[in-house]
Structure 1
Amino acid sequence: MHLVSDRIIEGRQGPTRPLAYPTVPGVDLTDIYRFTNGQPWDDFRRMRETAPVMWHPMPRDGVGFWALTSFAAVKQVNGDPEAFSSEKGGILMALGAEETRHPTLFSASTNSMINLDGRPHRQLRKEHMPYFTATYMRSLRDRVSAEVTRLLDTMAPLGRCDFVEKFAQRLPIFTLCEMLGVPESDRERFMSWIHFLEMAQQIAVEQIDQLAGLSEPNPQIAAFIELFNRNVAEMFEYGRDMLAKRRADPQADLMSAIANAEVEGEKLPGEYLDGAWLLIVFAGNDTTRNSLSGAMKLFTENPAEKAALQADGGLLTNAVHEITRMVSPVIYMRRTATRDVEVEGQVIAEGEKAIMYYGAANRDPAVFADPDRFDIRRANAEKNIAFGHGPHICIGRMTAQLQLEDAYRQIFARFPDIRWSGEMDIAPNNFVHAVKRLEVEFTPERKAAAA
C-alpha cells in the first residue's frame, strides 16, 4: 500500500470562489482552549443561520477552510467520497508545522483506514466488520453487563466520586480490550495512553507558540512533553508487539483481524498497523467515554427526562440516540474537495478543505425541532449523524449503543438519585469533546450488617 502521509496535502489557500455567505464575527474554531467550556453552540447557531458554509481563515497564515454547520451540508459532504476525499488531505483540520509533528503519531494518524478512500477503505473496513456486527454484540453483551455491575460496585459505597475516573473511562477500555484480546494485566495502561492522546493538540500548540516566540520556555511544559513522548512510544511499542504476536499466531479476536488484514492481496505495512492501532485505541474509547459523561450531565440538567426514563425502561434505546445527538462527542471531520462542488449555494473549489461540524448539524432546527432541548422521546433522534454518514460512518456505533444502554439501565436502578455536582473539566481539544473529570453525587449503598 502507498502511504497516505507521502502524498497528503494541506489544502489550497483559498477561497478561490466568491463567498456566498459572510464570515461570522467572533468565531474561532481553531482555538482549542475555547472548547474547554464545551462546544460553541451559540457560534454554531449563528453560523447555521447566516453562513452554513462559512469560510474560516486560519491564524498565522495557515490554510483556511470551509466550516459546515447545517445538517444538509454535513450530510452531503460526508456522503459523497468521490467529490470530498478523506485521503487527499486527511481528516484533521491542519497538519501542523513539520517541526512540531510527533513522527510516529503523525504517520499513524494519517496512515489508517479512516484516511482512505474507495476500495482500500472498503477492504480494510470489511476485515474489521466481524467484530462490529449485531451477532458479535450479542456475544459481548453479558461481559459488558457484568463489568458495568463490577464498576458500580466500586462506586456504591462512596456517595461522591469522579464519574470519569471510576466509570466512564473504564467501561469502554474494558469493552475494547475484550474485543482485542488484551490480557487483564495490561488494561490499566490504556487509561494513561488515552489521557495523553487527548492532550496531543495542547502539546502541539505549546510547541508552536514557543517556536514563534509567543511564549517562553517552561520547564513544566518541557517535562510534560517528555512524559507525553514516553507514553506515546510505549503505546505504539505495545501495539506493535501484540500485532506481531497475532500475525504469527492468530486468535479469534479483533487484534488478529487487524494484524492479518490484507489490501489488494498484501498484508498491511508497519505504518498502517500503527495507524490501525492508534485508531482503535483512540476511537474505541474516547467517543463512548464522553457520551457516558455527557449523558450524566444531560440527565442532571433535565430531571423530567431522567424521571421519564426511570419510569419506562422501554425509552432507553431512543434515549441513547438522543444522548449522542446532544453530546456529539466527535466535534468535526475534514474532507478535501476533488473538484469544484456546490454545497448550500457555496462553491467549494478543488483542493479546498471542508470541515463538517457534527454537533452543529445535530442541532439544526430544519431537522430537529427545538434542537437544544433534550427529549428522550424525540421521534427522529436516530436520524442524528454524531457517528457520521455514508461509507465512513463509525464502525463502532453499535458498540457504543450497547455500552450506553447497559450503563444507564444499571446506574439508574442502583443510584436513582445520582446527579452531576456541577464540577467538570474538559480538555483543550477541538477535535473531540473530551471530558477529563465529572463529579457526581448519590446516596451510597450500605452493605447489610453481618448476621
Structure 2
Amino acid sequence: MLLLSENLAAPPPPGPAFPKIYPEIDQDVLTESEKFTQGQPYELFARLRAQAPVSWQREGNNGPGFWALTRYDDVMRVDGDPKTFSSQKGGILMAYGPPETRHPLLFRASVDAMINMDAPWHLQLRKEHMPYFTPGYLADIRKKVTAETTRLIDGMAGLGECDLVEKLSAQLPLFTLCEILGVPQSDQPKFIKWMHYLEIAGYITAKKGKDLEPTPELLKFVQALNENVAEMFEYGQHMLQKRRADPKPDLMSAIARATLDGTLLRDEYLDGSWLLIVFAGNDTTRNTISGSMKLLTEFPDQRRALMADLSLLPNAVDELIRMVSPVIYMRRTATSDTEVRGQKIAAGEKVIMYFSAANRDPAIFPDPDRLDIRRANASKNIAFGFGPHVCIGKRVAQLQLEEVYRQLLTRLPDIEYAGGIDIAPNNFVHAIRKLPVRFTPERRTAQ
C-alpha cells in the first residue's frame, strides 16, 4: 500500500504556465499567516471576486505560486470535479514547505489521510466511517451534547465574565469527539493542549526555518511543540492498536479496522486518520461557537430576533457558519490543462478554493457581510466543502451549535463579546484562541 507522503507530485516550476487574464492584487497577503491574526481578509476577497476571481498568487520561499478562487460558482465547480482537480496529487494544504522546514511526523500524518485521497480510496474509507454519522446515532449524541452543554454553562453562569473559548467553545467539541471516538473523558485536557500546538505548528516551523538565529523563546516553543506532537501520536497509536485487537462500538474501532483494497491500514495511515479526526473533529466547531458569539454581538437586531423565536435556530446556525467559515481554504491540483472562468490553468498547478470568500459572494448571498438569521439560502454555504469531500461531521457540528445557542440565549440572555479576541497566526483555519464575554450572572435558586 503506497504512502501518499512518498508519492506527492513534485511542485511545478514557478508559474503560471499560461498568461494571466486577471490582474495581480495585493500579493503576499494570503500566504502570510501572521496577517490572519487580525481576522480573515474579507476586503481583499471582495476585490478579488470583483476584479480577479481566478487570481495568480506568488509564493514566498521560492514556491511555484497558485491560483486563488474566490467566487462561489468557481469553488463549487472545482470541489465537485475531483478528476480534474485532485486532492491526492498535491495534498489539500497550500504548501508543505521545503523538506528542511517540515515537522517530519506532522507532515507525513497530514498527507497520509483520507482527506487527501481521490477515488477509489477516499470513498472506501468514508464508507467505514459512515455508521457513526447516521441520524439514529446522532440522536443519541445530541442527548449527550445537551447534558454536557448544560454542565458547562452551569460552570460559567455565575461568573459574569469569562473566556468563552476556555469555558465552553474548546470543551464541548472535545467532549463530543471523545464520545464518538470512545476516548475516556478524563483524557480531554490532553486534547486541548495538543490543539494549542497544532494550530500554530505550521507558523512556528516556518518561522524557525526563516530565522537565521532563532531566539531561545522560539527554540523552547519548538521543543514543546515536538514533545506534544509526539505525545499526541503515541496516544493515538496506543488507542488505535488497542481497538484493532479489541474492537468496541465506536469510531475509534472503525478507524483502527478500516481497510483499503481489503488490507488493514498501515500505521502511517492510522497516524493520518488520528490527526484528521482530532483536528477536524474539534477545531471547526470550536471556532464557529466562538465566532458566532462575536457576530451576534455585532448584529444585535439578529440576536433579538433569534431570542424572540428560537425556531429560527437551525437556519441561524447555517447563517452563522456561513459568516464564520472556520476552514478558510482547501487546495486542489490540476490533473490536466483546464480552464476556470476563462483563465487557462496548466496540469500540475495548484488551485486554492477560498471557502470563506465564496460564502460572501454577493451573487449568491445578497448583502453578504450582514448576518441574516432568516436568509433563505443560508444552507447553501460551503463552509464544510462540497462534492465527494464534503465534511462527514457536518451534522455533528450543526447540532452542537444549535444546542449551545439554545441554552446560552435562554439562560444568559445578555451575554456578549467583550472585546480582546485572540486569533492564532493561521491562514488555513480561523483559529480563535480567546474570546472574552460578559453577562449578568445567573442566580441560583436555593434548594
In the superposition, the TM-score normalised over structure 1's length comes to 0.98
1:295 to 289, 292, 317: 292
Letter in 1 for 2:436: E
Residue 10 of structure 1 contacts residue 95 of structure 1 at CA under 8 Å; is this kept in 2? no
- Retained in 1: the 8 A contact 2:28–2:58? no
CA contact (8 A) 1:161 1:441 kept: yes
Aligned mate of 1:366, from 363, 368, 372: 363
Report deviation, 1:205: 2.1
The residue correspondences of 1:158-307 to structure 2 (distance < 5 A) are 158-210=159-211, 213=212, 216-307=213-304
Of 317, 333, 345, 2:314 maps to: 317
| Mapped partners of 1:115, 1:62: distance in 2 | 20
What is the rounded CA distance, in whole Å, between the counterparts of 1:105 and 1:312 in structure 2?
A: 45
The one-letter amino acid paired with 2:321 is: T
Counterpart of 1:422 (choices 415, 419, 424) is 419
Q: Within 2, Cα distance between the matches of 1:163 and 1:277?
A: 27
Given residue 21 of structure 1, which amino acid in structure 2 is its aligned partner? Answer: Y
1:135 counterpart = 2:136: yes
**Distance in 2 separating the partners of 1:15 and 1:218:** 37
Answer yes or no: is 1:57 the counterpart of 2:58.
yes
1:338 to 331, 335, 339: 335
Give 1:68 shift. Answer: 0.5
1:181-209 deviation digits (Å, cap 9, x = unpaired):
01122111100001110011221221121
Structure 1 distance, partners of 2:189, 2:149, is 16
Counterpart position of 2:386: 389
TM (normalized to structure 2)? 0.98
Name the counterpart of 1:69: 70
The equivalent residue for 1:8 is: 8
The alpha-carbon deviation at position 27 of structure 1 amounts to: 5.3
With over 3 angstroms needed to count, the CA separation of the structure-2 counterparts of 1:45 and 1:80, relative to structure 1, is same
Q: Deviations over 1:365-410 (max 9, x none)?
A: 1111111110000000000100000000001100000100000000
Structure 1 residue 139 displacement after superposition: 1.4
Counterpart-to-counterpart distance in 2, 1:447 and 1:320: 29
How far does residue 347 in structure 1 lie from its aligned partner after superposition?
Answer: 1.1
Task: Report the alpha carbon displacement of residue 448 of structure 1 after superposing the two structures with TM.
Answer: 3.3
Paired with 1:417 and 1:250, the residues of 2 have a C-alpha distance of 46
Specify the SS of the correspondent of 1:187: helix
Which residue number corresponds to residue 33 of structure 2? Answer: 32
Q: Percent of aligned pairs with the same residue? A: 60
Deviates more, 1:167-176 or 1:181-190: 181-190
Cα deviation, residue 217, structure 1: 2.2
Partner residue in 2 for 1:399 = 396
Counterpart residue type for residue 253 of structure 2: S
> What is the CA deviation profile of residues 74-112 of structure 1, one whole-angstrom value per residue up to 9, with x for unaligned ones?
111100000000000000101112112111111100000
Q: Which runs of 5 or more structure 1 residues have no equivalent in the other structure?
A: none
CA RMSD of aligned residues (A): 1.0
The 8 Å contact of residues 333 and 356 in structure 1, kept in 2 or not, is answered as yes
Map Cα deviations across residues 12-36 of structure 1 (whole Å, 9 max, x no partner): 2320111111111355200001100
Counterpart in 1 of 2:432? 435
Q: Distance in 1 between matches of 2:94 and 2:231?
A: 26
Unmatched 5+ stretches in structure 2: none
Give me the whole-angstrom Cα distance separating, in 2, the residues matched to 1:270 and 1:423.
42
The 3-state SS of whatever aligns with 2:61 is helix
Number of positions where the alignment pairs a residue of Structure 1 with one of Structure 2: 446
1:10, distance to aligned residue in structure 2 (A) = 4.8
1:122 aligns with 2:123: yes
**Distance in 1 between residues matched to 2:352 and 2:407, nearest whole Å:** 37
Distance 1:174 1:16 in 2: 48
2:368 & 2:287 partners in 1: Cα distance? 20
For 1:73 and 1:27, the matched residues in 2 are separated by: 22
Which residue matches 1:446? 443
Residues 32-52 of structure 1, C-alpha deviations (whole Å, 9 max, x = no match): 011000000000000000000
Q: 2:407 aligns with which of 401, 405, 410?
A: 410
Per-residue deviation, 1:267: 0.5
Q: Which amino acid aligns with 1:95?
A: Y
CA contact (8 A) 1:318 1:376 kept: yes
CA contact (8 A) 2:85 2:335 kept: yes
The SS at the match of 1:336 is strand
The DSSP-based 3-state class of the residue aligned with 1:431 is coil
Amino acid at match of 2:8: I
DSSP 3-state at the match of 2:30: coil
Aligned 8 A contact 2:208 2:214 in 1: no
Residues 317 and 401, structure 2, Cα contact 8 Å, conserved in 1 = yes
Would the alpha carbon gap of residues 11 and 26 (structure 1) be closer, same or farther in structure 2, given more than 3 Å must change?
closer
CA distance in 2, matches of 1:350, 1:73: 18
Matched residue type, 1:357: Y
Matching of residue 81 in structure 1 with residue 78 in structure 2: no
